[in-house]
Amino acid sequence: MRRGRTLILVLLIIIIGLIVGFVAIRQFILTPQSEEQPVFVEVYYAAQNIPQGGPITEDVLLTMSIPQANVVEVMFTRDELSLLTNNKVAKFPLDQGVVITESMVNDASAAVPISGPQWASLIPPGMTAMSIPANRLSLSGYAINDGAHVNINACLMFVDIDPTFQSILPNLTAVLTGTGLGQVTGSEGTGYGATGLPILSLGVVTTGAAQGRLELDPSLQQPYFLIPSETQRPRLVCQMLLQDVVVMKLGSFSLIPSGTVTTQPAATDPEAQQQAPAAPDIVTLIVTPQDSITLSYLMYTNAQLSLTLRNPSDLARQATEASTLQFLLSQYNIPVPAKLPYAMQPALSTLVSPFLTNDTVTVPPQ
């Protein structure tokens, strides 16, 4: 009995030893003792948003460490800082955090055609630059600047016209008198035409009254003629036309060629210190040729254009509905006021903003 227990104990020791040996062989022999540590390389990325055509300097760059296996040849490492900042500009707007590659930068001098302006190299192939008028309201309070991404809204007014005359309705009425063949009374008396035949006389008396319509009074059952009390009111519609348009330049381009030395006014000159920079009244956009034609048509038809600022990293396109009076009433649940037997006093014909104590009154120069 004792011999059987000893045999079982020996077998258990052998089994445990085999298990421990198997684990040790797998851990220390089959598995490498230590893996090689990856080598990291520092590459440059944009520390802030760089506008299109903006100079690439060390102030707008930072470095980040990535494994050497992930580094590609087009990236700029720390040893290649001079190649990245030596007279280089951004080909297109660069967002903050983007790793700089060779395709994102361009030489500021070599890429400029000899016969063309310097800023022409900033226009991508297939695009064109076009300027439109602007003011403080259409530029989002001057929040829009060079390299900004914007949407373009347009507001237009429509009227009914006569298809033949191409004039606004209603037409003016006139009365024809004395029509038919007969004599013509002129400054030299009464006579006939050069051929001896009677001349067609057509007397026109223009009343100048607008063309109206005939109505029947329901109470008196008598007809009466209605004419408009005022000229036709245009119908307003606003819609977003273009999305994610890049602003090339806010304000006018310099008329002085690059490289020209100009004389700057002295810092102590009181007139130079008092002259504030003029507010920009024009903005140049980078658009497709077809969109430039559309903007030209809208600009010369007195359409009101406005720019709305958007995030450069936002690449989404939004489908919008045109805003009209009918759209506002239905979309925002605006009721049409009922005709009541009482009203506010005094009568309200226009909306006037209340004048506050801190408001300043600007008197235009005479």
Q: 123 pLDDT exceeds 70?
A: yes
Mean pLDDT of all residues in 238-260: 84
Out of 16-25, 197-206, 243-252, least confident range: 197-206
Q: 200 pLDDT exceeds 70?
A: no
Q: How far is CA 13 from CA 17, 24, 33, in A?
A: 6, 16, 28
Q: Where do the domains of the chain lie?
A: 40-122, 128-176+207-212+228-253+278-335
Q: 184 pLDDT exceeds 90?
A: no
**What phi and psi values does residue 346 have, to the nearest 5 degrees?**
-75, 170
Q: What is the pLDDT of residue 5?
A: 74
The mean predicted confidence, pLDDT, of the chain is: 81
**What phi and psi values does residue 12 have, to the nearest 5 degrees?**
-65, -40
Q: What is the pLDDT of residue 9?
A: 77
Confidence of residue 191 (pLDDT cuts 50, 70, 90): very low
Q: In terms of C-beta density within 10 A (0-12 exposed, 13-18 middle, 19 or more buried), how is residue 71 classed?
A: middle
State pTM to two decimals.
Answer: 0.60
If one compares 203 and 43, the residue with the highest pLDDT of the two is 43
Residue 317 identity (one-letter amino acid):
R
Taking only the tens place, the pLDDT of each residue in 213-245 is 889 988 888 998 888 888 999 999 999 999 999
Mean pLDDT of all residues in 192-208: 54
Taking only the tens place, the pLDDT of each residue in 285-334 is 999 999 999 999 999 999 999 999 999 888 899 999 999 999 999 999 99
Write the DSSP assignment of 270-326 as a string of letters: HHHHH-PPPPP-EEEEEE-HHHHHHHHHHHHTT-EEEEEEE-TT---------B-HH
CA–CA dist 221, 105 (Å, integer): 82
Residue 36 identity (one-letter amino acid):
E
Q: 115 pLDDT exceeds 70?
A: no
Other residues' Cβ atoms within 10 Å of the Cβ of residue 55? 14
Give the right CATH number for 40-122 from 3.40.50.720, 3.30.470.10, 3.40.630.30, 3.90.1210.10. Answer: 3.90.1210.10
Residue 278 identity (one-letter amino acid):
A
